[in-house]
A and B are shown apart, each in its own frame.
Chain A
Amino acid sequence: MKDLPQTVAAHDLAQSRPPEGNWFVAIRAVAGFQLNRLMTRPRLAMGLIGAVFPAAVMFAVIRTAPIDRNMTVVMIYALIPEALCVLGLLVTMCPVVADELERGTWIHVTVRPGGRQSLLLGTYAAAVLWTGSVSLVALMLTLFIAQPTQPIGLVVMFTALIGLSCVGRAALFALPAVILPKRALIASVGVALLVEYFAGLLPAVVNQVTVSLRLRSLLVEWMEWQKDLPIEMTLFVDDYPALVQIVAVCILVFILLTTAGFILNRRQFPPSVEN
């Protein structure tokens, strides 16, 4: 063991103190840490399979029978913002607390100045970036296979839908992840099925608090399908302008993340909870 060099005193305590309210730095650091941990071979293989899967389905469909542009759009919407984004976020967002407790990293991350908030928001950012990236690759591959007309417009539209799906659903899954950390995956699958896919399709007030209603409504508006929509289908979309739909998702994200952060801050994990 070496003697301590004089540098121990040169590192004044003040140097180690981040400026007050430097949340962004802490969140970015956690996000970087989590993304680094996601770059394992199994996770990369999972991402690759996820990216290729929609293109494979599209290939299988168009080989069977040619489909028109609208049908192509519906298929891409169902496969990527609705399915792939949800699956990716289940893998990356749900374990925000459980993984840390099981790996014994919980205490080391939350004992830092940003504490639990930076863990939650940093993991949220990493989950959105990872899932968003995989989904964008999937989008490019699927469009390459489908060869629709006016592909640039579709790229822009689906990039926005993928972004909103990721930020909205990651915030949604943050809630079961902090309330039931040990059963986060099961609880989040339940939330996805019950809230997003069931309540989201109910023609009632409850669907207003789902991301799926907003995404569907945006798809219908941006594709200019309102006039051609069968009357019974209008029950499943909202006719507010796109900006309102986007603001609604942002408000939902804010409420969900604030609630998740509040719950996480108050939760007590006795030493016996850790493996």
Chain B
Amino acid sequence: MDRIPVDSDGPVIQIENLIKEYKSSDGTIVRAVNNVSMSVAAGEIVGLLGANGAGKTTTLRIIATLLQPTSGRAQVCGHDSIADPVGVRQSLGYVSATTGVPDRLTARELLTSFGRLHGLEEDAIKDRLDWLITTLSLRNYIDRPAGRLSSGQRQRISLGRALVHNPPALVLDEPTNALDVVGSRDLLDTLDHLRESGHAILLSTHRLHEIEHRCDRFVIINTGHIVAVGTRDELVGDSGELENAFFHAINRGASS
């Protein structure tokens, strides 16, 4: 299979010393992300693991230019999220747990609209739609209003929306949250295919069992800090399961 062209030799997604602070309602500063650094190469799936409130979503949204870091930097294909946010957005697809697919629109209408948002010509959108229909198996419901579709079908449309401009980097924020077992497996199988075609994929989840054998590397984050990084084998060691390693890393991080 041919690989997707990437216009930089280094990691496709790279973040360095990322810090994000929010001001809470009582005026205190809350550090949601604390000195996080990581990278994702082309053809790699990296799992970002953590409990609710660990800082996963904030990290992913900084990468996607949706939030600005307090300090540190995030780059996608060499484009800095602050200095060149448009470059980042052109190189990135973003999928979240909430699909945000309008009930009244069909998948075809939605994907066409988002292709136009990327400035694609109508012919290019048509080609791209054909590719998405085949790749994501959308054919049976491409012209059905999204309100009549299942959660899994809507999430596939959401993935199609993220891929409509053929980005080399893909960021997914708990994409399987609303899906059943079949829908989850289907989506993760698609991610396997996208990895084979050279996409760099950063995937956050707290459903460890689903991705244990799919990710090339894992980054475990707790209360904004990275507490462990490595392949499954490196993290699991003698503990047998990723879940044990996850709890071990979190407890170790909390006590240090």
A interface residues with partner B (beta carbon < 8 Å): 1-9, 11-13, 15-19, 22, 25-26, 28-30, 32-33, 36-37, 39-40, 103-115, 118, 268-271, 274
Contact = CB atoms under 8 A, between A and B. Distances in A.
A6 B104 CA distance: 33
Contacts of A36: 104-105, 109, 113
Contacts of A18: 90, 118-120
Contact of B102 (A37, A114, A268): A37
A111 B116 contact: no
Contact of B117 (A17, A37, A39, A114): A114
B254 interface: no
B65 interface: yes
Interface string B106-137: 00010001101111100010011011001101
A6 B7 CA distance: 20
Given A15-B166, A18-B120, A113-B119, 17 more contacts: A2-B134, A2-B135, A4-B1, A5-B134, A6-B1, A6-B2, A8-B4, A16-B120, A17-B90, A22-B119, A104-B98, A105-B102, A107-B61, A109-B117, A111-B64, A111-B92, A111-B94
B85 interface: yes
B101 to A, nearest CB: 8
Contact of A271 (B5, B61, B161): B61
Interface of B: 1-7, 22, 32, 57-58, 61, 64-68, 85-86, 89-92, 94, 96, 98-100, 102, 104-105, 109, 113-114, 116-120, 124, 127-128, 130-131, 134-135, 137, 158, 161, 165-168, 186, 189-190, 193-194, 196-197
B90 A110 contact: no
Contacts of A13: 4-7, 91, 166-168
A103 B119 contact: no
Given A29-B117, A115-B85, A268 B68 contact: yes
Contacts of B186: 1
Contact of A16 (B100, B167, B189, B190): B167
Nearest to B114: A112
B1 A107 contact: no
A13 B135 CA distance: 18
A227 to B, nearest CB: 52
A274 B128 CA distance: 30
Contacts of B67: 268-270
A271 B61 CA distance: 9
